[in-house]
Chain A
Amino acid sequence: MKQIAVLGMPNTGKSTFFNRLTGADASIGNWPGITVDLMMAKVKLGSSEAEIVDLPGIYDLRGFSEDEAVVRKFLEHTPLHLVLIILNATQLDRQLSLALQIKRLNLPAVLLLNMADEAPQFGVEIDRDKMSDRLKMPVVPISAKYGKNYDTAYQTISDTLDRQEQAVSAQSLDQCMKCDNQMASEMGSLMQDAIKLPKTFKDNLTTRLDRVLLHPVFGLPIFFGAMFLMFQLVYAIGTPIQDIMGQGADWFQGAVLEPTLAGLPEMLRGLLVDGLYSGLSVVLSFIPVIILFFFAMAIVEDSGYLSRSAFLMDAFMARLGLDGRSFVMSLMGFGCNVPAIMGTRVMRSPGLRLLTMLVIPFSLCSARLNVFIFMTAALFSATVAPIVLFSLYIFSFVAAILTAALFKSKYKNDDPLILELPPYRFPTLKQMLLRSWSELKHFWRWSYKFIIFGVVAIWVLNNFPPGVPPASPETFSGIIGQWLQPILGPIGINPQLAVALIFGFIAKEIVIGGLAVIYGQSDNALMGAIAAQIDWAQAYSFMLFTLLYTPCLSTVAVLKSESKSWKFTAFSIVWSLVLAWGASFVFYQGSKALSF
Chain B
Amino acid sequence: MSTIHLGLLEPGKTATILAIKTREGLNQRLQALGFRAGREVKMIRRGWFSGPLHVRIGTTEVMVRRTEAENIYLSYVDKGEST
Chain B residue contacts of A380, Cβ below 8 A: none
Interface size for A (C-beta < 8 A) is: 39
| B9-59 contacts to A (CB < 8 Å) | 24-26, 28-34, 36, 42, 44-45, 47-52, 54, 56-59
B61 touches A (CB below 8 Å): yes
- Most central of B49, B56, B65 by chain A CB within 10 Å: B65
A596 touches B (CB below 8 Å): no
A579 touches B (CB below 8 Å): no
Beta-carbon contact of B56 and A311 below 8 Å: no
Q: How far is the CA of A143 from the CA of B45 in the complex (A)?
A: 31
Beta-carbon contact of B47 and A314 below 8 Å: yes
Beta-carbon contact of B58 and A93 below 8 Å: yes
Beta-carbon contact of B47 and A93 below 8 Å: no
B60 touches A (CB below 8 Å): yes
**Given contact pairs A60-B32, A63-B29, A201-B56, A419 touches B62 in the complex (Cβ within 8 A):** yes
Contact of A64 among B25, B54, B61, B64 (CB under 8 A): B25
B63 touches A (CB below 8 Å): yes
Chain A residue contacts of B25, Cβ below 8 A: 63-65, 414-416
Q: How far is the CA of A63 from the CA of B31 in the complex (A)?
A: 11
**Given contact pairs A94-B58, A197-B58, A314-B63, A63 touches B45 in the complex (Cβ within 8 A):** no
Chain A residue contacts of B50, Cβ below 8 A: 315
Q: How far is the CA of A184 from the CA of B37 in the complex (A)?
A: 11
| A301-360 contacts to B (CB < 8 Å) | 307, 310-312, 314-316, 318
Q: How far is the CA of A64 from the CA of B29 in the complex (A)?
A: 9
Beta-carbon contact of B59 and A122 below 8 Å: yes
B68 touches A (CB below 8 Å): yes
- Closest CB in chain A relative to B57 CB, distance in Å: 8
Beta-carbon contact of B51 and A311 below 8 Å: yes
Return the chain B residue nearest A58 by Cβ: B32
Chain B residue contacts of A90, Cβ below 8 A: 59
- Most central of A9, A60, A314 by chain B CB within 10 Å: A314
Chain A residue contacts of B44, Cβ below 8 A: 207, 210
Q: How far is the CA of A314 from the CA of B68 in the complex (A)?
A: 14
A78 touches B (CB below 8 Å): no
- Closest CB in chain B relative to A137 CB, distance in Å: 20
Beta-carbon contact of B29 and A418 below 8 Å: yes
- Most central of B42, B51, B63, B64 by chain A CB within 10 Å: B63
**Given contact pairs A60-B28, A314-B65, A418-B33, A93 touches B52 in the complex (Cβ within 8 A):** no
Chain A residue contacts of B59, Cβ below 8 A: 90-91, 93, 122, 124, 197, 201
Beta-carbon contact of A9 and B32 below 8 Å: yes
**Given contact pairs A93-B34, A418-B62, A421-B62, A311 touches B54 in the complex (Cβ within 8 A):** yes
Q: How far is the CA of A122 from the CA of B59 in the complex (A)?
A: 8
Q: How far is the CA of A216 from the CA of B30 in the complex (A)?
A: 26
Beta-carbon contact of A97 and B32 below 8 Å: yes
Chain B residue contacts of A307, Cβ below 8 A: 63
Contact of A315 among B42, B49, B62 (CB under 8 A): B49
A267 touches B (CB below 8 Å): no
B contacts with A: majority SS: mixed
Chain B residue contacts of A62, Cβ below 8 A: 28
Beta-carbon contact of A315 and B63 below 8 Å: no
Q: How far is the CA of A94 from the CA of B56 in the complex (A)?
A: 13
Beta-carbon contact of B51 and A315 below 8 Å: yes
Beta-carbon contact of A420 and B61 below 8 Å: yes
Q: How large is the interface on B (under 10, 10 to 19, 20 to 34, 35 or more residues)?
A: 20 to 34
- Closest CB in chain B relative to A529 CB, distance in Å: 52
Chain A residue contacts of B33, Cβ below 8 A: 59, 94, 418, 420
Beta-carbon contact of B48 and A216 below 8 Å: yes
A214 touches B (CB below 8 Å): yes
Beta-carbon contact of B61 and A421 below 8 Å: yes
Return the chain B residue nearest A89 by Cβ: B59
Beta-carbon contact of A315 and B54 below 8 Å: no
Interface string of A392-422 (1 = CB under 8 A from B): 0000000000000000000000111111111
Q: How far is the CA of A59 from the CA of B60 in the complex (A)?
A: 13
Beta-carbon contact of B28 and A59 below 8 Å: yes
Q: How far is the CA of A569 from the CA of B60 in the complex (A)?
A: 38
Chain A residue contacts of B48, Cβ below 8 A: 216, 315
Return the chain A residue nearest B50 by Cβ: A315
Beta-carbon contact of A60 and B58 below 8 Å: no
Q: How far is the CA of A522 from the CA of B56 in the complex (A)?
A: 63
Q: How far is the CA of A91 from the CA of B24 in the complex (A)?
A: 23
Beta-carbon contact of A420 and B60 below 8 Å: yes
**Given contact pairs A311-B54, A315-B51, A418-B68, A94 touches B32 in the complex (Cβ within 8 A):** yes
| A191-234 contacts to B (CB < 8 Å) | 197, 201, 206-207, 210, 214, 216
Chain A residue contacts of B32, Cβ below 8 A: 9, 59-60, 63, 94, 97
- Most central of B42, B50, B59, B68 by chain A CB within 10 Å: B59
Interface string of A86-119 (1 = CB under 8 A from B): 0000110110010000000000000000000000
Beta-carbon contact of A417 and B68 below 8 Å: yes
Q: How far is the CA of A122 from the CA of B45 in the complex (A)?
A: 21
**Given contact pairs A9-B32, A60-B28, A64-B28, A421 touches B51 in the complex (Cβ within 8 A):** no
- Closest CB in chain A relative to B64 CB, distance in Å: 5
Q: How far is the CA of A446 from the CA of B63 in the complex (A)?
A: 37
- Closest CB in chain B relative to A313 CB, distance in Å: 9
Chain B residue contacts of A64, Cβ below 8 A: 24-25, 28
Return the chain A residue nearest B56 by Cβ: A201
Q: Residues on B close to A: CB < 8 A? A: 24-26, 28-34, 36, 42, 44-45, 47-52, 54, 56-65, 68
A-B contact list, 28 entries, CB within 8 Å: A9-B32, A60-B28, A63-B28, A90-B59, A93-B58, A93-B60, A97-B31, A197-B59, A207-B44, A210-B54, A214-B45, A311-B47, A311-B51, A311-B54, A314-B47, A314-B51, A315-B50, A315-B51, A415-B25, A416-B25, A416-B29, A417-B63, A417-B65, A418-B33, A419-B63, A421-B54, A421-B63, A422-B61
6 new A-B contacts, CB < 8 A, other than A124-B59, A416-B30, are: A60-B31, A63-B29, A64-B28, A94-B34, A97-B32, A311-B47
Smallest CB-CB A-B distances: 8 pairs: A59-B32, A315-B51, A94-B34, A64-B25, A315-B49, A421-B61, A93-B58, A416-B26
